Structure 1
Amino acid sequence: MTQEDDIEAYLTTFERIAHACKWPKEQWVIRLAPYLTGQAQMAYSNMKIHESGQYDLVKEAILRRYNISEETYRQRFRQLKYSAADSPREVFTHLTDLYKKWMKPELKTHQQITETIVMEQFIKILPEDISSWVQKHRPNKAEKAISLAEDYLLAKKDAGRHTRRFQQSQVQKPLLDHKQKRKTMPENRILWGIFFLFMKILWCYPPQKNRLYQHSR
């Protein structure tokens, strides 16, 4: 195996040779490991010892290292287009291969496969913002997908409630200020009235001069 090799094509070729040679599956890792290089070798060396002898787990770890997962195969399955360069049989075979890599029917029950298909459609029909949120967390169970959608809606509802409260407080603030002004206006009028009355009294009745001053005159 070289750095330029397509890891998926390499593993597929290895599996076909293993089947053709009728190697026991327990020996597949032993025969594959010496030829791994680069990222594939790194993925294998980082595995736990008790898992590194199981081919399916080794394959999954290697593909994960290359960012290839069930979601990758699901997208390829849904996005595959018919090409005139391929025969109908080749296209059908390719679709079947992608489906098996996505669903892994040999490892899942009928109920698990049904749940996967229904969950995919469930996420697809959600509103765009909720769907993006759920897909971001890559749920592998329907219950997890449902919980993510419910949590998002709850958080969105709480955010909307806080926004409305803030807006209401901004609307009520001018009203309260206006009421406060109206409340203080009568008090100001009374004070000004007293002031003008006092000035009028001073004007009409000036204070008498000091008697000592008059006597000196």
Structure 2
Amino acid sequence: MTSQLELEKLVSIGEKLGLKGVELKQFLDDERDKLKQERDEERDRRAKQRAIDAHEQEEDRQRQEKIEREKAKQLEIQLKIEEAKQAQAEAQAQIGNGGYHGNGSAARSRPPKLPPFNQEKDDIDAYINRFERYATLQGWDRDTVWATSLSALIQGCGLFEYSSLSLEDSKDYDKVKQALLRAYHLTADGFRKKFRDIRPAHEDTGTKYVTKLKNYLHRWMELEEVTTYEQLQDIILREQFLNSCSKDLETFLKERKPKNITTMGDLPINM
């Protein structure tokens, strides 16, 4: 709305321009419209600027919160790694003191002669297989000794994965082993492919090749958590079903992650 002072100024300007009557009135109306438009534009500009400022402030707040979360996460990871290292040190000390017993026997086991796992040159699956064989020969109790002993030998990203386990899970050998296999991207499907694709090496004997086949099959079934004939049957049927599909259909089915062959067959597809 035009103030009295602004109106008087406009009248004075119009009269200086020689405007009178209807022409002066039209001039005043036009100028008032211009002033109103300028005020509206200024109000909109300020509102937009306030919105931009508020948005930038919100982004700054979110960035700061993200930084704080990352710091907290890194601190938590570091603490877990330190806890894992401490657990390793305690396990190594216990091993060095001959503190592990066999399956119910009073005889103390000898310290493990296995070198620590080296992720630059060792295969984690082969390393775990060697560890299990050694632990079995030493007569270590699987439920109370294996998890701690294996954790004492792990380094690198395997140690990080181990440190992410809860205290209870870190005592469970099977959960520790699965965590380590995940850390190095060895999944059920990965072992399935190894089992299907492996061919005898030039230096392999028949016995050695059979051992490799058994190991890959065992790892595959273990990670699939197969414990019954029906589960084994379902795994084989699903694999054969996928092998019968086109690549596009195979990808489609894998993305849906059907839990069993019946669910897979019930999906809306055309073979």
**TM-score bracket for this pair, using the shorter chain length:** 0.5 to 0.7
Counterpart selection for 1:73 from 172, 182, 191: 191
Provide the alpha-carbon RMSD of the alignment: 2.3
Larger mean Cα displacement after TM superposition, 81-90 or 61-70 = 81-90
2:202, 2:127 → 1: CA distance? 26
- Match in the other structure for 1:45: 163
Local SS of the residue matching 1:52 = helix
Asked if 1:13 corresponds to 2:113, the answer is no
Asked if 1:89 corresponds to 2:179, the answer is no
Equivalent pair of 2:189/2:220 in contact (CA under 8 Å): yes
1:144, 1:43 → 2: CA distance? 33
Structure 1 alignment gaps of length 5 or more: 155-217
2:228, 2:150 → 1: CA distance? 29
Q: 1:56 to 1:133 in 2, by over 3 A?
A: same
Deviations, residues 68-103 of structure 1 (Å, cap 9, x unaligned): 011111101111123332112211221111111111
Asked if 1:3 corresponds to 2:122, the answer is no
Across the two proteins, how many residue pairs are aligned to each other?
A: 151
Answer 1 or 2: higher relative contact order, Cα 8 Å, separation at least 6.
2
2:203, 2:253 → 1: CA distance? 37
Pairwise mapping of residues 111-126 of structure 1 onto structure 2 (< 5 A)?
111-126=230-245
Local SS of the residue matching 2:199 = coil
1:32, 1:143 → 2: CA distance? 39
- Match in the other structure for 1:28: 146
2:119, 2:217 → 1: CA distance? 27
Tell me which structure has the larger Cα radius of gyration: 1
Q: Which amino acid aligns with 2:252?
A: W
- The Cα of 1:120 is off from its aligned counterpart by 0.4
Q: 1:91 to 1:139 in 2, by over 3 A?
A: farther
- Match in the other structure for 2:264: 145
Local SS of the residue matching 1:84 = coil
- Match in the other structure for 2:173: 55
2:262, 2:169 → 1: CA distance? 28
1:44, 1:129 → 2: CA distance? 37
- The Cα of 1:144 is off from its aligned counterpart by 4.7
Q: 1:106 to 1:21 in 2, by over 3 A?
A: farther
Equivalent pair of 2:226/2:232 in contact (CA under 8 Å): no
Q: Percent identity?
A: 28
Give TM-score scaled by structure 2 length.
Answer: 0.51
- The Cα of 1:22 is off from its aligned counterpart by 0.7
Q: 1:11 to 1:116 in 2, by over 3 A?
A: same
